[in-house]
Each structure stands twice: as C-alpha cells, then as structure tokens.
A and B are shown apart, each in its own frame.
Chain A
C-alpha cells in the first residue's frame, strides 16, 4: 500500500511553517538570543528523530532483528530530515553560535586581555572556532550521507530483490554505528554542553543520546499509529506496537537513570563550579526542571509497565505524546538558561511557534519521502518474520 502526500496535508505543513516563520521573526525582533536558542532547540529536536531513526535501523541490521521490518519505511523517511536539518544545524551553530549561543567563541586565549578566561583558554585546543566548524560539518555530512545511502539501498532492494543490497545496508550500518558512537558524544559536547563552557559532565553524551532516542521512538510510534488510523500498514498489529512500546518504556527508564546519575553525583559532591549549573536551573526554571520528570519518568513508568498497556495503542499513544512534551522541556532547560543568560525564560508562543515551524518542515520532508515508496518494504530477508511476529 502506498502513502500519498495529499494537497491538504501539504497545506498543513505550509501553515505550520508559516506559523514558525512568524514566531521566528517575532523572536528576532524581541530578542536575538532567545530566537537563536529556539532555532537550536527546535532543530536539535527533529535532528534527534532523524539520528535515532538511523540508529534504530542500523541496530536492526546488525542484530539481524525481524521485528521492525514492517515499520522500517518510517525511520527511513525520518532519517531523510538529516539532509535538510544538517545544513540548518551548520548555519545555526555557526552564525547563531557566534551571534548568540556560544560565549566561548568571544574569548581570547592570551592572558591580560579583558576577554581572557582561564578555564576556556585551557579548553582552547578543542574549543576553537575553526575546529568546531570542521567537526560540525563532518558530523552532519557523514550522518546525511549514511541516511542517503541507507535509503538508496532500501529502495534498490525493493526493485531488485536478492541479498546484495541487504548486505550493503549491513556494511553501511556498521559504518554509521561506529561513527555515531563517537560523534553522538562529541556533537553533544560541541553543540549543547559548550553553551555552559565552564561546566562539564562526563555523562552528558549519554544523557543527550538517550534523550534523542526517546523522542525518536515516540515519533516512530506516533507515525505508525497515524498511518494505522488511516487504514494503512494493515500488517502492523499489537505485537509490533508492543515491541515499540517496550523500546519507549526501556529508553525512558534509561533516560531517568542517567538524569539521576548526573544529578546525584553533582548534588552529592557539591563542588561550586559543578553545582552552579543545576543551582541556576533549580532557582529559575524549577517547574520545567522538575516537571519534566513527571512526563519523562513517572508517566512512561507507571502507564507502560504492564504488558497489556504496551500492546494497547491508546496507552502507547498517550505516553508518546507525554514524553515528546517532556523531552521538549528537557531540551529547553538544557539550552535556554545558558544562552539567554536571564532567569526569565519560559515556554511561550515564540518557543512553541518555532517548534511548530520545524514540525511543518519535518512533516513535509518525511511525508514526501514516505510517498515515494511503498509503505511496507517489498523485499527484505526478514519481512516474513516480521509479518508473523507474535509474543
């Protein structure tokens, strides 16, 4: 069965992009710092879905798993956002980074100057503008290339059948996973942790990676349920929903574990330069900082703990929406406090509007690539296994 990107849905995407544009213009008029921070949050949010989708597919190729083959076209389409979001990310971290986001970019490393900062000068071998830009371009370049190649092999496998393209996909998965293992850490240090350049956490890369994964799996679930509600993907049943639900449950708990691990150690040790990060957030962003735990930990844990709930579309849908809200709050508290430098950040029209603009762009890219191929892969060694999946 094929998906068609109707004119009406295109209009929805354009409307969302329009709202986003209005919000961005309003934000730039009011406060450029806030505007750039919102661009970074929103693009980060949808890049996360693309990145996790690549990881999700690669893992299934490498572990020779059959459960996800029926829904494979969805992460495949999501990963195509990397080709659009990647260049946008370069602009945001380059231009916006210099203008507003990263204060370390304005530090001189020679002592004596009024812009001298001892801590940042100590990190200058890694945190300097040319190396930062080269790294950023390499990350998004390789990610986008992997996404493009995986998609290409998948489409060619549909046309030609056989196992050649399956094996090529496995090779591509190896390349992606190895590259991703390193760059998910370095990219999160570069793009997000360096906002608070005086502060660091050794857990940060894990934390970002798992946060990205929760958004990614929630987005996959929402799209599967959306397409099912339109009568497509008739082979997907509660067994597949159950598997995706397990992913969301497990990854949400990993996120909670890492959140606590990072917080607990810093809170316990009570070293001034480390606690400053949390102290600021708890003082000025209290409701977002602690509120997100209700969305990201308590809701998935209690609503999805039982087997029946994970297999029930309604429960899974509710939790997917909740964790998406919760992880938006998480990204907001990761980025905004460090960028705006003020204690008065809140989630308002500008924040939500910018996010909706990126949502429109994301939906446009994803639905366009979904419409290009059949919704169920036509040829895959584990297709039959996936159709007959049962637990």
Chain B
C-alpha cells in the first residue's frame, strides 16, 4: 500500500477552519497547515499541541541567572574583591542587591537567545536548509492543508475537502 500526499487549497480562513474540523471529525490526521498569517482558532481546530517553548525559556533563564551569579561572584568577590558602596567585601550575600540587575539581565539574555535558537532548530529553519513550503502561494493569499493518506483514504478526504469549499485539490 503506497502513501499519498494531498494538498487541499482554500482561499478563505473561515472555510479552512470548517474544513479542518470536518476532516478531523472524519478521523483524518492532518499533517500540517500552511497559512499566510496566523488564523485565530486554527491551532485548536487542527489539534496542535500547546508549545513547550515557555518551559525551555524558564530553564534557560535559570541557567542565565546561575551563570550571572557565578560571573559576579568570581569577578567582584573572589578574584578582585570590590568595594561596593562601603559594604562588607568578600561576601556574596551581603552584596547581592547590587548584582540583582545583572542577574536579571543575564536571565533575560539567556532565555531570549536560548528560545530563538531552540525555535530555529526545532522548526529546522537554518542557513542552507531548503524551503519546506509545498506551495509558494501560501505566502500570499492561499491556505494549504497537507494530508498524508493511504491509497484508500484519498477519495473520502477529497470529497470532504471539496464539500467544505477547497478551491483546489492537488496530489504531490
């Protein structure tokens, strides 16, 4: 049994959402949807899982804060004890208030860079990687539903696409 890839193309986002809902209620798994802009409510209709990028951001921020704390401890307490406004030197805890802005900035720096890099790696958008967009018109005004189907499922999927208002159904 061979697999087929179907592109259902819509030119209206309301029709797209209805089409996606009908496909899912018929038990057809949707591989991907390509849109020119974020369509409100599509993620739920299409069953997309909520992003876990926020958890990464939290972990990166913790790393950043630890790194910042180590840096400030090494620079201003250990290696070259700094006189901070006449406060007792040689103590991280008694000078930590002065380090707060730096700890915060290190947290933000690592979280921001970390999630951007994670996002690029996870979505595989890197220099030299070829474009995975199946139809360039989805960057203009068309919405594309990508389906990976078995041979037998093509007809029923096509009829659902057609009845829900898809303007084109292409096999790739």
Q: Which single member of B50, B97, B100 contacts A307 (CB below 8 Å)?
A: B50
Q: Which single member of A264, A269, A270, A305 contacts B100 (CB below 8 Å)?
A: A264
Known: A264-B97, A264-B100. A306 touches B54 (CB 8 A): yes
Q: How many B residues are at the interface, by size bracket?
A: 10 to 19
A303 within 8 A of B: no
Q: Which residues of B are found within 8 Å of A269, using beta-carbon distances?
A: 85
A175 within 8 A of B: no
A138 within 8 A of B: no
Cα of A184 to Cα of B78 in the assembled complex, Å: 45
Within the complex, the shortest CB–CB distance from A57 to chain B, in Å, comes to 27
Q: Which residues of B are found within 8 Å of A264, using beta-carbon distances?
A: 97-98, 100-101
Cα of A270 to Cα of B84 in the assembled complex, Å: 10
Cα of A267 to Cα of B41 in the assembled complex, Å: 50
Q: Which single member of A267, A305, A306, A390 contacts B97 (CB below 8 Å)?
A: A267
Q: Which residues of A are found within 8 Å of B55, using beta-carbon distances?
A: 306
| Interface bits A297-312 vs B (CB < 8 Å: 1, else 0) | 0000000011100000
A263 within 8 A of B: yes
Number of interface residues of A (CB under 8 A): 11
A91 within 8 A of B: no
Q: Which residues of B are found within 8 Å of A390, using beta-carbon distances?
A: 41, 44
Within the complex, the shortest CB–CB distance from A381 to chain B, in Å, comes to 20
Residue of A nearest to B84 (CB): A268
Cα of A256 to Cα of B32 in the assembled complex, Å: 42
Residue of B41, B54, B86 with most partner-chain A CB within 10 A: B54
Cα of A390 to Cα of B98 in the assembled complex, Å: 42
Q: Which residues of A are found within 8 Å of B97, using beta-carbon distances?
A: 260, 263-264, 267-268
Known: A260-B100, A264-B97, A264-B100. A270 touches B58 (CB 8 A): no
Number of A-B contacts (CB under 8 A): 24
Cα of A270 to Cα of B86 in the assembled complex, Å: 9
Q: Which residues of B are found within 8 Å of A306, using beta-carbon distances?
A: 54-55, 58
Within the complex, the shortest CB–CB distance from B115 to chain A, in Å, comes to 14
Within the complex, the shortest CB–CB distance from B98 to chain A, in Å, comes to 6
| Interface bits B46-58 vs A (CB < 8 Å: 1, else 0) | 0000100011001
Cα of A264 to Cα of B101 in the assembled complex, Å: 10
| Interface bits B18-42 vs A (CB < 8 Å: 1, else 0) | 0000000000000000000000010
| Interface bits A365-380 vs B (CB < 8 Å: 1, else 0) | 0000000000000000
Q: Is the CB of B85 within 8 A of A270?
A: yes
Q: Is the CB of B54 within 8 A of A307?
A: yes
Q: Is the CB of B50 within 8 A of A268?
A: no
Cα of A244 to Cα of B127 in the assembled complex, Å: 42
Cα of A306 to Cα of B51 in the assembled complex, Å: 12
A-contacting residues, B66-88, CB 8 Å:
84-86
Residue of A nearest to B51 (CB): A307
Cα of A297 to Cα of B153 in the assembled complex, Å: 55
B-contacting residues, A234-282, CB 8 Å:
260, 263-264, 267-270
Q: Which residues of B are found within 8 Å of A260, using beta-carbon distances?
A: 97, 100
Q: Is the CB of A268 within 8 A of B98?
A: yes
Known: A263-B97, A264-B97. A305 touches B85 (CB 8 A): no
Cα of A6 to Cα of B58 in the assembled complex, Å: 46
Within the complex, the shortest CB–CB distance from B136 to chain A, in Å, comes to 32
Q: Which residues of A are found within 8 Å of B58, using beta-carbon distances?
A: 305-306
Cα of A263 to Cα of B100 in the assembled complex, Å: 11
Cα of A305 to Cα of B111 in the assembled complex, Å: 14
Within the complex, the shortest CB–CB distance from B92 to chain A, in Å, comes to 15
Q: Which residues of A are found within 8 Å of B44, using beta-carbon distances?
A: 390
Q: Which residues of A are found within 8 Å of B98, using beta-carbon distances?
A: 264, 268
Within the complex, the shortest CB–CB distance from A42 to chain B, in Å, comes to 31
Residue of B nearest to A260 (CB): B100
Q: Which residues of B are found within 8 Å of A268, using beta-carbon distances?
A: 84-85, 97-98
Known contacts A263-B97, A264-B100, A270-B85; 6 further A-B pairs (Cβ under 8 A) = A260-B97, A260-B100, A267-B85, A268-B97, A268-B98, A390-B41
**B interface list, Cβ under 8 A from A:** 41, 44, 50, 54-55, 58, 84-86, 97-98, 100-101
The 5 closest A-B pairs by CB, nearest first: A270-B85, A268-B85, A267-B97, A264-B97, A260-B100
Q: What are 16 A-B contacts with C-beta separation under 8 Å?
A: A260-B97, A260-B100, A263-B97, A264-B98, A264-B101, A267-B97, A268-B85, A270-B86, A305-B58, A306-B54, A306-B55, A306-B58, A307-B50, A307-B54, A390-B41, A390-B44
